[in-house]
Amino acid sequence: MYKNYIFDLYGTLIDIHTDEYSKNFFKKYAKWLRRQGYTFAWKDFCSKYTKTERAYREQAKIAGKYSKPEIRIENVFHDVLAGKGYYPSQEKIVYLCENFRKISLINMCLFPDTLACLEGLKKAGKNIYLLSNAQRSFTWQELEKTGLVQYFDGILISSDEDCMKPDPNFFQICIERYQLDKQECLMIGNELQSDIAGAAAAGIDSFYINRFPVFHKPANPSYRYIAPNGSLMEVLKQTEVNTRVNTEVNTEVNTGVNTKVKQ
């Protein structure tokens, strides 16, 4: 039926919680920055970072190229650092961004059935793609840590493409880059607007993974399939993927990538 399964990342495959806009986080990050040789009062860095990020996002909207534009967070860091007379290399800026994410992380783990679902699809000969609203310098390290990279036939991160879901252009980039037939594609995600409405606008069927404790059916749902209990194994079942999955083995593998950060 479907040959190509396109997944959202956060909230669908990875359960993650961050604290990147709190006072406590900016205090910790400013302290870490000082150890790297970049001196900022935490309030100063917080103010400059949030204002610069907001300005970049407003500029991207005004440009009007996409209905839902994305920015590159490295540009924000460059401008904030340059404002204090610091001009690190691009490689160093990426390092600062990576640690911004690491320090903001509260906890991160795969959902219990993430690997079982992906391995089931692979065993059945399906193609798997990732379409994520994210920053590469934040996300790639998490894809590697969780061991997810190996499962994907293609990975698209919004900061690389200058647009994000639900903009249908982001979906179209995936379709064109990997020469896919939309009729053979299924988008799987936990966000009704970004994942489900975006897929519908792009002419792609979708599978909604409900991550809320209680499921409330929307008035005019645009998804074709739904897992009201949040189970990714429903993707295999409802799309009739013919495979046997050893869930016990996959659960053991999954426990090895649980990351928790003490506050």
Concatenated DSSP letters for 161-221? Answer: HTB-TT-HHHHHHHHHHTT--GGGEEEEES-IIIIIIHHHHTT-EEEEE--SSS----SS-
Does the predicted TM-score (pTM) go above 0.85?
Answer: yes
The predicted-structure confidence for 114-167, as pLDDT tens digits, reads as follows 999 999 999 999 999 999 999 999 999 999 999 999 999 999 999 999 999 999
For 218: left if phi > 0, alpha if psi spans -120 to 50, otherwise beta; the answer is beta
pLDDT category of residue 48 using cuts at 50, 70 and 90: very high
pLDDT category of residue 216 using cuts at 50, 70 and 90: confident
Is the predicted pLDDT of residue 254 greater than 70, yes or no? no
Task: Give the single-character DSSP code of 227.
Answer: E
Q: What percent of the chain has a predicted confidence (pLDDT) above 70?
A: 92
pLDDT category of residue 218 using cuts at 50, 70 and 90: confident
CA angle 121, 201, 217 (to 5 degrees): 75
Please tell me the distance from the alpha carbon of residue 197 to that of residue 210, in angstroms, as a whole number.
14
